[in-house]
Structure 1
Amino acid sequence: MQRRRLVVRGVVQGVGFRPFVAGLARRLGLGGWVRNESGAVIIEAEGPAAALDTLAVALRRDAPPLAAVGDIEVVDCAPTGEATFHIDRSRQSGDGHASIPPDVATCDACLRELADPADRRHGYPFLNCTQCGPRFTVITALPYDRASTTMARFTMCDACAREYEDPADRRYHAEPTACPVCGPHAWVEGPDVADAPAATRHDSASAMAQVRAWLAAGRIVAIKGIGGFHLACDATDDDAVRQLRARKGRGAKPFALMVDSLDAARRLCVVSDAEALALQSRARPIVLLRRRADGAGLVSDAVAPAQDTLGLMLPYSPLHRLIVGDTPLVLTSGNRADEPIARTNEEARERLTTMADGLLLHDRDIHAVCDDSVVRVVLGAPVPVRRSRGYAPYPIALPFAVPAVLAVGAELKATCAVAQDREAWLSQHVGDMETVETLHAFERAAAHLLDLFAITPARVAFDPHPGYLSSRWARQWAASRGIPTEAVHHHHAHHAALMAEHGLPRASGMIGVVFDGTGYGPDGTVWGGEVFVGGYTSVERAAHLATTPLPAGDADVRHVPRLALAHLTAAGIPWGDTLPCVRACPDAERQVLAQRLARGLGIVASSSMGRLFDACAALLGLAQVATFEAQAAIALETAAGHAATASPLAAFAAPVEGDVMRCDPAPMLRDLVARLQRGEDVASLAAGLHVAVADAVVAAARHARARTGLDVVGLSGGVFQNVRLTTLAASGLDAAGFRVLLHRQVPPNDGGLALGQAVVAGTR
């Protein structure tokens, strides 16, 4: 007889790991115990050596589906003669770096109970078990026990307690478990509700029925979900969708839809096998899908104006399953365009009643706001566009150890990250940090990560852009605690994030193609069309898009004809009256712009590929106003998707100055204008532009390889959310003998920057 102590790290709390260990140990005839500690699951097991060996192997091989076992430390102990095995009370320890799972979709077993009239949880919107339900949004501290969640105030009834204590039950130590007798309840407030909320507080079924009736009547409803509030309406009702767009201040930005099944998704969109897997995964993200050609009229045109894609998701909680029926629903974040998502009932009453006709509330508190995740399938696998519910705060394994770091990301698509040793944890998506309210939401997200994983940063990493709220906050926060800071340049962070998620070693290098809209360059200009060589510690430009003098300011970025006219000037192309971008600018505006460009007033030097895409969209007449980020570039990609063939355009000029290639789009732009004026098909020209840019990527990578010998190329930055460009570039690079890396764990856009900042700061 032997006794061993096993310390198991990884994602092992909140996933049914202790019940799994207890059941396994009992089947093997072992005595001892298992418990949660702040940083791990601790096991002491006693019995024959062969049984203990089997236990150690099975911990990794047979772990619960939501678990991700990392290190297992095994130490021999003195036998005590313990013959039975039990789950011990959790303890707080000095090591708080355990990982917890994200919120995951309702499992099949719980869905069967939800639909079974004979089951005591029939129609109950908060049922869950060890394999599904809320985790990250309800956990307040580690170790993971009910007392450390927002379920702490709900005392289990006798029936729930028996399940919770029964090793054979799938709710054995399921911390958020509940039922209609003892758990949270939902109610409605708004029109048609007598004496609300008291009359419906203990009748969730009545609340669900009222919400369905409101939606069917064309009403807009604010719905409290797992990670915050949504605003919902019938997606087939033009008036309801347009009202929601107006009340929310949404502009033309597409709405996400929730449909009840994969079959319903396929009626609206073309769904590949890889996209079906993403839709049905435990994360249940919004998946960006191409609309069916015969799907016109199945949802309101106001859902996604002028787009050939729809963002679809399937129900991921019992509450959503009880609301969504045969009709697709708009399900968008519960906020105005410039505000964080409403989290509490009080916030909803204060902020959402002017947008919603009714409220669906409940009394399970949300500790961490978590917006819906968004993915897009590229080359057969998902690329995150927004990493949040279903993914955060799942850890990212680092290829080397780093000291404790807090990284604060950038301004748009803000996230933060903490990293220590060989793991990094990214926060949920916070939003565009342009208001004090969003900054406060960011502060809560950062504090939650630091507290949850008990990390005291030795360094704080930030973007050096002088105007970012996140950077100012980082400097002030670090100074108040005497913590050193590290400025990590924007595009280097993109480059490093991609290297880290693919596990490239500390001393390795990569050719990094980083294309986006805006990033503060080391020379004080706006970068965004960069080809780097280097690694975590430093990078050098091997190539870049030729610099164009652009009008500065948000208004100029939104008024894309100004960008087009600036690019025409840089390429030496006259502003002909027949060009759509010229016609879109009144005479007086053109005169002012010409003077600004001539005198350099309010002008910035930019190498941004994102701005080039915007300019070409305006030049081709596809978009003249951008009411949301990348609207013009999306219009360009959409048009290219409708082309029968791609018009061949002149290649970028590629002079080499020193060791650096300057990729000049002027020849391509001149050819584009000439072909447009000859009346060539706009869609074919848009497709040809994508080919020309992809060819420029390959040419720049070849130049970098000849200079350094590197043959690994990574594609990062928000421009590589463009599936057409990414596919063309990756195919061309592959044919040229490169190994190509794409983002698979963090977004290529600024939502992934915090990871790159953390690893760069950690190597310095």
Structure 2
Amino acid sequence: MASADIRRRLTVNGQVQGVGFRPFVFRLADELGLCGAVHNAPEGVVIEVQGQPRALDQFAKRLEAEQPPLARILRVGVQDIAAISGEECFSIRKSSGGAGHQVLISPDVATCPECLAELFDKTNRRFLYPFTNCTNCGPRYTITRGLPYDRPNTSMGCFPLCPDCQREYENPRDRRFHAQPNACPVCGPKVWLSDRSGTVVARRDEAMRKLAAILMQGGIAAVKGLGGFHLVCDATNQEAVRELRRRKRRPHKPLAVMVPNLDTARALARVTKEEEPWLSGMVRPIVLCGKVRGAPLAESVAPDVDHVGLMLPYTPLHHVLFQRFGRLLAQERQNMPAALVMTSGNLSDEPICLGNREALSRLNEAADIFLFHNRDILIRVDDSVLRVLPQTGETQFLRRARGFVPQPVFLAASGPCVMGLGPELKCTLTLTKGDQAFVSQHLGDMENIETLGFHHEIAEHFQDILEVQPELVVRDLHPNYLTTSVAQEMARTSNVAICALQHHFAHAHAVLAENRHQGPALCLALDGTGFGTTQPSVGMGLGANWSIWGGECLLVDTDTLRHERLAHFAEFNLPGGEAAVREPWRLAQSMLWELDIERSGQNGSPPWPWLPEFEQASAFLPQILRKNLNCPLTSSCGRLFDAVSAMLGLCLRMTYEGQAAILLERAQDLSIPLAEAAMYPCGLIKTDATARLETNLVPRQLDTYSLFRALLDDMAAGTPAAVIARRFHASLITGLADMALRFSKKHGVAHVALSGGVMQNLTFAQELPAALAERGLLPLTHKQLPPNDGCISLGQAAYGQRLLTLRGSCPL
């Protein structure tokens, strides 16, 4: 030890285990001539480094500047400690366990270039091996039971390393040093092909060859991947895609397509320079790209939309499959692109299949053949879905799952541990730890026992890997949601405190939490359905029953937890309740009823496009409305979109959520500027209750009745549907922006948060924030989570944290 040597202990928090961080530290220290040691510990990666002060300063700078690709340093604690005499080298020590860790698990990431090169090198021992990986790529979250991230704590613990893999694993200079999923054809997982009875028909590479041949012939396969199963078929084969839709019970909703490379993606869609890094990067989500006219994709892949969801291979298994499929394609169908439908391996509304036996049982009627492997998937994760907004280049999530979970959302302040249980549709759950909110992957719709079981799995897993227990559980206000029963069960068995938060206020807290906004803000919460409160409704008086919200202007203060409903869309009935959600023509007729139009052509209204298809039911509907039989009131923005879509004859019966609104958006003539198209009246009016009470506590209404009346006049005048659709979007955006400006001036609040499923409408996602900004307001949008109900659990958790902080003045 030189006389001037000093020793420092650095404690590194963040995503620093299982990402090649310790060998990186080893190589850096060795290059700088430093001695000491590094090891994984509950508090993070602990580094003790000793040497000359200048070398230690260089080490600290380069530690953050040159960290491995998958590492994510959040904090580095530095402490001077006593130097150790006689230490001559730097070493990597064994991990130490313990409670209360400050470590993040890495998400699963795509195959790195080095592993990909080995995969197709005929001289390499991993040639075409479907489980090739290293510390820079491969599975993480989906195979991890707990921390520290060591092989025994993963599903690779049952695969002992062969001598060659062991040498790589133990060599700090090798990129597979302590790569926990490390494997090769000798010691690692295997693939095999089975028929519907479970009989093995091929193994290893022969299984991949046969699978490619079956797909070429129009077959449908269930393929076990990284976070669950996919249902796969040839995306250029119209009959195969139609048959997959029939079996999956998914008649119209767009299907994701995997292609082998960017060149193929460009041949099938308009891929922008902002979309390319998402397609070819480490995460590789499904990216919505504009369709190319005449592209050789089956028309039934995405029949309702002008885009196609593309992704590139993210596992070695995918790469090998495309190598085999592409070779057959070149032999049999020259110049045809290799494109495979890769849709979630489930039937409609169920969670993605996880295990081999589960898939053989649940997907037996959906798939002709099954590609299995024996690396257990511990945590099921769907593919993430996003798009890049053309006008701004910003990324918008539609589903956040593989590649992003379990990365946290960082909150504005630290607080107690709270769990947000999520809503019913597009459910996620959130668990907080300090100033970090861990939002789960997409869990699905909480409408069946399978999804409920998945919800339980992830709730327990998050508590285990984060080593925290919630002090408070926040649920949706709806009494009949499955998440409400989950909360009640947790209160009974765990003695944890429970509270409820209204759906749209949860939307507001979610987008404010993402933006780390503290204090008051307006929020436009625009979606399909959310259980409301007992605010008075039109025609219902002060003794109003619970109503269904969905087009809301809210005032939310995250400091004081002040919640106020300032305004909402004019309410109308849902004749038949859930039937009206599935059949938008009912909503159109309900809006006509509000305008005193009972029969087709009455009062100068245009003929109704759903006659004669629904003539008998339509004739009966006025009796239901007159007697108010199963006709709940709603202020929903999403249902208004549905009503307009049906009125224009675009969608009378929906087969998936949002279909009517998607078709309405697609119908627009976008060549008409917003200012020119905004010609339908859509201003604020007082409700009967407001006028009666002469108070500001009762919310105003956005006059969507007048908007609909003007739309009918346009129809009667023979205005093209494309122009009407554009005028509807533009007028509603203008009305919302003007309303926000009015309340901004009244309450002295400039920030306007935007949330809800309607914000997935591309027109709204781009033009509503711009309209607000033009009026001098400050729009806040979702950047890390979807604006749909996938963000609700974050809003619940953020609200709960603040509620516990204010507990003295805000009792539960």
Instruction: Verify same fold: TM over 0.5.
Output: yes
Would the aligned equivalents of 1:39 and 1:143 in 2 still touch at CA under 8 Å?
A: no
The alignment of Structure 1 onto Structure 2 pairs a total of residues equal to 755
Q: Secondary structure at the match of 2:304?
A: coil
Following TM superposition, by how much is the alpha carbon of 1:58 offset from its aligned partner in structure 2, in angstroms? 2.5
Q: Secondary structure at the match of 1:437?
A: helix
Partner of 2:543: none
Q: Residue 681 of structure 1 is aligned with which of 720, 723, 732? A: 720
Would the aligned equivalents of 1:113 and 1:121 in 2 still touch at CA under 8 Å?
A: yes
Following TM superposition, by how much is the alpha carbon of 1:573 offset from its aligned partner in structure 2, in angstroms? 4.2
Deviates more, 1:57-66 or 1:457-466: 57-66
Following TM superposition, by how much is the alpha carbon of 1:52 offset from its aligned partner in structure 2, in angstroms? 2.4
1:65 aligns with 2:69: yes
Would the aligned equivalents of 1:565 and 1:581 in 2 still touch at CA under 8 Å?
A: no
Distance 1:493 1:585 in 2: 40
Following TM superposition, by how much is the alpha carbon of 1:553 offset from its aligned partner in structure 2, in angstroms? 2.9
Partner of 1:722: 761
Following TM superposition, by how much is the alpha carbon of 1:3 offset from its aligned partner in structure 2, in angstroms? 2.0
Structure 1 residues 584 and 630, CA gap change in structure 2 (3 angstroms): farther
1:745 aligns with 2:743: no
Structure 1 residues 450 and 614, CA gap change in structure 2 (3 angstroms): same
Distance 1:18 1:471 in 2: 44
1:470 aligns with 2:500: no
For 2:449, the aligned partner's letter is V
For 2:600, the aligned partner's letter is G
Distance 1:641 1:253 in 2: 23
Following TM superposition, by how much is the alpha carbon of 1:528 offset from its aligned partner in structure 2, in angstroms? 0.8
Q: Residue 530 of structure 1 is aligned with which of 547, 552, 556? A: 552
Q: Residue 178 of structure 1 is aligned with which of 165, 183, 194? A: 183
Structure 1 residues 210 and 636, CA gap change in structure 2 (3 angstroms): same
Partner of 2:638: 610
Following TM superposition, by how much is the alpha carbon of 1:552 offset from its aligned partner in structure 2, in angstroms? 4.6
1:512 aligns with 2:523: yes
Give the TM-score of the pair, scaled to structure 2: 0.90
- C-alpha distance after superposition, 1:63-94 (max 9, x if no partner): 21222211212222222233321221111122
Structure 1 residues 539 and 192, CA gap change in structure 2 (3 angstroms): closer
Would the aligned equivalents of 1:531 and 1:542 in 2 still touch at CA under 8 Å?
A: yes
Following TM superposition, by how much is the alpha carbon of 1:762 offset from its aligned partner in structure 2, in angstroms? 0.3
Partner of 2:747: 708
Q: Residue 653 of structure 1 is aligned with which of 677, 683, 686? A: 683
- C-alpha distance after superposition, 1:614-672 (max 9, x if no partner): 11100111101111100101111111166667755312131254444310112211111
Partner of 2:329: none
Partner of 2:595: 571
Following TM superposition, by how much is the alpha carbon of 1:582 offset from its aligned partner in structure 2, in angstroms? 4.5
1:331 aligns with 2:331: no
Structure 1 residues 567 and 519, CA gap change in structure 2 (3 angstroms): same
Distance 2:15 2:595 in 1: 54
Q: Secondary structure at the match of 2:752?
A: strand
Would the aligned equivalents of 2:672 and 2:726 in 1 still touch at CA under 8 Å?
A: no
Following TM superposition, by how much is the alpha carbon of 1:167 offset from its aligned partner in structure 2, in angstroms? 2.1
1:70-85 counterparts in 2 under 5 A? 70-81=74-85, 82-85=87-90
Distance 1:677 1:666 in 2: 17
Give the TM-score of the pair, scaled to structure 1: 0.96
1:686-701 counterparts in 2 under 5 A? 686-701=725-740
- C-alpha distance after superposition, 1:493-529 (max 9, x if no partner): 1111111111223xx2222111000011122211111
Partner of 2:666: 638
Partner of 2:261: 261
Distance 1:760 1:597 in 2: 38
Would the aligned equivalents of 1:96 and 1:452 in 2 still touch at CA under 8 Å?
A: no
Following TM superposition, by how much is the alpha carbon of 1:150 offset from its aligned partner in structure 2, in angstroms? 0.5
Distance 2:557 2:235 in 1: 47
Q: Secondary structure at the match of 1:562?
A: helix
Distance 1:257 1:25 in 2: 45
Partner of 1:147: 152
Q: Secondary structure at the match of 1:757?
A: helix
Partner of 1:377: 388
1:562 aligns with 2:586: yes
- C-alpha distance after superposition, 1:314-342 (max 9, x if no partner): 11111111113332111111111132211
Partner of 1:497: 510
Following TM superposition, by how much is the alpha carbon of 1:39 offset from its aligned partner in structure 2, in angstroms? 4.1
Would the aligned equivalents of 2:610 and 2:649 in 1 still touch at CA under 8 Å?
A: no
Partner of 1:589: 617
Distance 1:466 1:39 in 2: 41
Partner of 1:91: 96
Distance 2:399 2:669 in 1: 23
Following TM superposition, by how much is the alpha carbon of 1:7 offset from its aligned partner in structure 2, in angstroms? 1.4
Q: Secondary structure at the match of 2:169?
A: helix
Deviates more, 1:556-565 or 1:90-99: 90-99
Partner of 2:364: 353
Following TM superposition, by how much is the alpha carbon of 1:542 offset from its aligned partner in structure 2, in angstroms? 2.5
1:623 aligns with 2:651: yes
Q: Secondary structure at the match of 2:98?
A: coil
Deviates more, 1:307-316 or 1:612-621: 307-316
Unaligned runs of 5+ in 1: none
1:247 aligns with 2:247: yes
Partner of 1:419: 432
Following TM superposition, by how much is the alpha carbon of 1:458 offset from its aligned partner in structure 2, in angstroms? 0.8
Would the aligned equivalents of 1:698 and 1:733 in 2 still touch at CA under 8 Å?
A: yes
1:68-217 counterparts in 2 under 5 A? 68-81=72-85, 82-190=87-195, 196=200, 200=203, 204-217=204-217
Structure 1 residues 320 and 579, CA gap change in structure 2 (3 angstroms): farther
Deviates more, 1:268-277 or 1:739-748: 268-277
Deviates more, 1:616-625 or 1:475-484: 475-484
Following TM superposition, by how much is the alpha carbon of 1:750 offset from its aligned partner in structure 2, in angstroms? 0.6
Would the aligned equivalents of 2:741 and 2:777 in 1 still touch at CA under 8 Å?
A: no
Partner of 2:808: none
Structure 1 residues 475 and 163, CA gap change in structure 2 (3 angstroms): same
For 2:562, the aligned partner's letter is S
Would the aligned equivalents of 2:304 and 2:662 in 1 still touch at CA under 8 Å?
A: no
Deviates more, 1:138-147 or 1:577-586: 577-586
For 1:516, the aligned partner's letter is D
Distance 1:74 1:613 in 2: 56
Distance 1:502 1:648 in 2: 30
Partner of 1:312: 310
Would the aligned equivalents of 2:683 and 2:739 in 1 still touch at CA under 8 Å?
A: no
Q: Secondary structure at the match of 2:417?
A: strand
Would the aligned equivalents of 2:36 and 2:48 in 1 still touch at CA under 8 Å?
A: yes
Would the aligned equivalents of 2:520 and 2:749 in 1 still touch at CA under 8 Å?
A: yes
Structure 1 residues 45 and 575, CA gap change in structure 2 (3 angstroms): farther
Q: Secondary structure at the match of 1:274?
A: coil
RMSD of aligned alpha carbons: 1.8
Following TM superposition, by how much is the alpha carbon of 1:62 offset from its aligned partner in structure 2, in angstroms? 1.9
Distance 1:538 1:386 in 2: 30
Distance 1:173 1:616 in 2: 58
For 2:488, the aligned partner's letter is R
Deviates more, 1:237-246 or 1:654-663: 654-663
Would the aligned equivalents of 1:496 and 1:535 in 2 still touch at CA under 8 Å?
A: no
Structure 1 residues 183 and 594, CA gap change in structure 2 (3 angstroms): same
Partner of 2:810: none
Distance 2:439 2:612 in 1: 42
Q: Secondary structure at the match of 2:681?
A: coil
For 1:535, the aligned partner's letter is D
Structure 1 residues 99 and 579, CA gap change in structure 2 (3 angstroms): farther
Structure 1 residues 362 and 339, CA gap change in structure 2 (3 angstroms): same
Following TM superposition, by how much is the alpha carbon of 1:473 offset from its aligned partner in structure 2, in angstroms? 0.8
Unaligned runs of 5+ in 2: 327-336, 535-545, 804-812
For 1:313, the aligned partner's letter is M
For 1:626, the aligned partner's letter is M
Distance 2:627 2:26 in 1: 75
Q: Secondary structure at the match of 2:522?
A: strand
